[in-house]
Amino acid sequence: MNGAADNSHPVSKPRSAQANILFAFGVALALYTAWHVRQELVLIYVSALFAVVLMPVVRGITMLRIGKWSPGRGMAILLLLLGAAGAVTIFVVFALPPVIRDLHEFVRELPTRGPALLARIRRLPFSQRVNVAALNAKLQDFASNFATYLLFSIKNWASTLFQIITGIILTVYFMLEGETAYHWILSFFPVEQRQRLDSTLARAEVRMGKWLLGQGSLMLILGLSSTIVFVLLKVRYAYALGVLMGVLNIIPIVGALISIVLAVLVAAIDSWGRVLGVVIFYAIYSQVETSYLTPRIMRTSVDLAGLSVIVALLLGAALAGVIGAMVAVPTAVLVAVLLNEYAVKPEPIIAEAKPLSKIV
């Protein structure tokens, strides 16, 4: 009887050395493959993250009612894409052509206007330390070879445009079919752990969705403040440049660099004083945004400490450049929620002992 009892509960056999070797080989192969397709994996991750961030907007559109009709998820995504495409089209058609035309005139006249500009530079303080002859040669070389520089950059712009289009398509598919993929991934976890993980990720989704609200607030503040300053400085196309600076603020580092360079070039068409005003404004604003606005607004919207936001931005930029900085804050929210649920051990609450006299 004892033997029968022992046979009813067989002891699991330890894995053989061959199984361990195969498992290690599989892990190494997976890591090797992931390293070679890391750019594609980053693109997939960023697309999935933006799908999570945009889902509150999509849900808001589905709540609209026109009589008895309300848009479904597919129609809501289509309306969102049409709205974004319409805004970009209006800006490109009405705002960019005059700016590009004047910049083209400025670059074409740069060889003849160069000596006058350099004469102004000589009158600036500390200009004796500047090699004016070398600077003049570089300006003339840039003006004469502008078309060549532009041609060489077309390949990089084409590659970036292809990645953007691919990311948009992936984001749309994640918004349409993300729930199916999400439940499929959950099926890899034990049944008793799925509910806890599901509720944890649901809390992270709510906080990540608020990131778009915080980022939109930063874009609005920069757009309004830059427009006011450009109008006061009487910079050409002040409204278009203000809108462009606000929109490009969603792209950390590169977006700000593109917008400020464009604003400086437009201001340089008229006077150095306006150039100096634009540079001073952006230098002050960048410090205020980095040290005050971004930590405060992101803490209010996504409930992250200011130090966590700054560290996340630094690490994201170091690991994946512009894309890493762009998704650093929502990624930090996801990591924070998972750590709070699975790693952080709260201190037990100890009831305060009451004096014996009060008990009696």
- Cα angle 247, 53, 30 (rounded to 5 degrees) comes to 110
What are 6-61's pLDDT values in tens digits? 555 444 455 567 777 888 888 888 888 888 888 888 889 889 988 988 888 888 88
What are 339-357's pLDDT values in tens digits? 888 887 766 655 555 554 5
CB atoms within 10 A of CB 73: 15
* pLDDT at 239 > cutoff 60: yes
Q: Which residue has the higher pLDDT, 1 or 274?
A: 274
What are 147-203's pLDDT values in tens digits? 555 555 556 667 777 888 898 899 999 998 888 888 888 888 888 888 889 999 888
What are 50-96's pLDDT values in tens digits? 898 888 888 888 888 888 888 888 898 999 999 888 888 887 787 77
pLDDT at 360: 45
pLDDT at 225: 92
Domain boundaries, the chain: 208-344
pLDDT at 217: 87
Q: Which residue has the higher pLDDT, 320 or 106?
A: 320
- What would the two tokens of residue 193 be? 């752990």
Q: Which residue has the higher pLDDT, 144 or 193?
A: 193
What are all long-range contacts of 274-277, with beta carbons under 8 Å and residues at least 24 apart? 274/233, 274/234, 274/235, 277/229, 277/233
pLDDT at 260: 84
pLDDT at 228: 92
Mean pLDDT of all residues belonging to the chain: 78
Distance separating alpha carbons of residues 130 and 163, to the nearest angstrom = 41
Give me the amino acid identity at 92: V
* pLDDT at 358 > cutoff 50: no
The CA radius of gyration of the chain, in Å to the nearest whole number, is: 29
Distance separating alpha carbons of residues 197 and 332, to the nearest angstrom = 17
Alpha-carbon 169 to chain mean position: 17
What are 307-324's pLDDT values in tens digits? 788 888 888 888 877 788
Report yes or no on whether pTM surpasses 0.95.
Answer: no
Q: Kindly indicate the confidence band of residue 114, based on its pLDDT and cuts at 50, 70 and 90.
A: low
